[in-house]
Structure 1
Amino acid sequence: MLQSSRRPGSLSFAFLLAAIVAATALCLWAMGRNLICPCGHVAIWYAPGDPGPSSQSLFDWYTPSHLLHGLLFYAALWWVARNWSLDRRLVVALLVECAWEIVENTPWIIERYRSATVSVTYNGDAVINSVCDILAMLLGFALARRLPVWASVAVVLGFELLTTWLIRDGLALNILMLLWPLPAVVDWQAAV
């Protein structure tokens, strides 16, 4: 197990984190996910309405939700496992995020998004997009460690309000529609 006496930020711990991310990327690639956009180039961003394919660039409008994962994982793990070392909590958060990236790119979840949400053209993520989503979660976890609680809450609410206003979606709506799709919400989201 990870030792709390080891200096945080050590090279071996960074290697462990990188190995988890690399293993996830390899798993996604083995599942048939494209490494980069099938268009053949790596774009930094495709905004809604752009002709580029969604979730194939480095970042998209769902990147903020992954940053929020990090803030929320930090809070949840502080709440239920505060006696664990920070390193152990970070590894657990990373494993949960990586597991979600794998599950999110299974045919079952892709079809669920297509049939139950407004994301009818969703084809899953490119590996590079998934890796950037994981890095966004790590950034959120790091921010949660440094920010006061009120600032973390403000970031969560701010990003949720921003994405709800700009794209009529966000982390809370995404979870709601994945678990319990509401036709009224689909209609509202589609009225962009």
Structure 2
Amino acid sequence: MNRTGAALLLVAGAGVIAVTLALWGQPLVSASGGIRLWVNSIWSPETSQQVADWYSVSHLVQGMLLALLLRALPLRRPDTVLLWSAFAIGVGWELAEHTDFVLDRFRATTLYQGYLGDTVLNAVMDYVFMLAGVALARALPVGASLALVAVLELASSLIARDSLTLSTLQVVAPQQAVADWQDAIRPARP
């Protein structure tokens, strides 16, 4: 697939996410009205509402892992398969993440209680971060990609106390010790 086709997939995916979530009632931007490039705390009410946060790192890692997985398979047209897979998985996840079933799974863990889903802005940017992860893993050697995935997961886990690995663990098989460790940095409520 050429660059024009890849760009059209990016725009089409972003459009499908934006229109669908808007029709489902997700707000376009944060209720605060402002647009911020980065939200540093997983406990901030602006998390999943702005352009990027620690969960954007998870989406970058998700894209890298997808590209590494598909790179390992003997595919006849690897770039085309990778781009269509990234489109389908990226759009599919952003929509699935906003279903009652998935939202309820998230809310069942201590960290995500009260989670109402992403703003349209954040969901579209999560998709873009996932595609950026795909592009990054395609550009780097496999060893460098794996090392970067490990560094990003470790940094997210230690700094934000959440990562793709920890989020997946807590949604699939919640661990009280992990929940207690994450909760230890929760700001005091007024």
AA aligned to 2:118 is D
1:129-182 CA distance string (max 9 Å, x none): 011111111111111111011110111000111011111110001111111111
Partner of 2:103: 110
Partner of 2:19: 26
8 Å CA contact 1:117–1:178 kept in 2: the answer is: no
1:133-144 aligned at under 5 Å gives the runs 133-144=126-137
Bigger drift between 92-101 and 58-67 goes to 92-101
Unaligned 5+ segments in structure 2 are 186-190
2:3 is the counterpart of 1:46: no
Q: TM-score, normalised by structure 1?
A: 0.89
AA aligned to 1:78 is R
Q: CA deviation at 1:73?
A: 0.7
Q: Distance in 1 between matches of 2:78 and 2:177?
A: 44
8 Å CA contact 2:26–2:119 kept in 1: the answer is: yes
Q: CA deviation at 1:78?
A: 2.1
Partner of residue 89 from structure 1, selected from 68, 82, 88: 82
Partner of 2:170: 177
User: CA 1:172–1:128 in 2, change beyond 3 Å: closer, same or farther?
Assistant: same
Q: Distance in 2 between matches of 1:145 and 1:180?
A: 31
Partner of 2:188: none
User: CA 1:104–1:142 in 2, change beyond 3 Å: closer, same or farther?
Assistant: same
Q: Secondary structure at the match of 1:22?
A: helix
Q: CA RMSD in A?
A: 1.8
1:63-106 CA distance string (max 9 Å, x none): 01100111111111223352234023212112111111111122
Partner of residue 159 from structure 2, selected from 160, 166, 169: 166
2:96 is the counterpart of 1:100: no
User: CA 1:49–1:63 in 2, change beyond 3 Å: closer, same or farther?
Assistant: closer
Q: Secondary structure at the match of 1:118?
A: helix
User: CA 1:29–1:149 in 2, change beyond 3 Å: closer, same or farther?
Assistant: same
Q: Distance in 2 between matches of 1:175 and 1:167?
A: 15
Q: CA deviation at 1:49?
A: 6.9
AA aligned to 1:170 is S
User: CA 1:190–1:52 in 2, change beyond 3 Å: closer, same or farther?
Assistant: closer
AA aligned to 2:57 is P
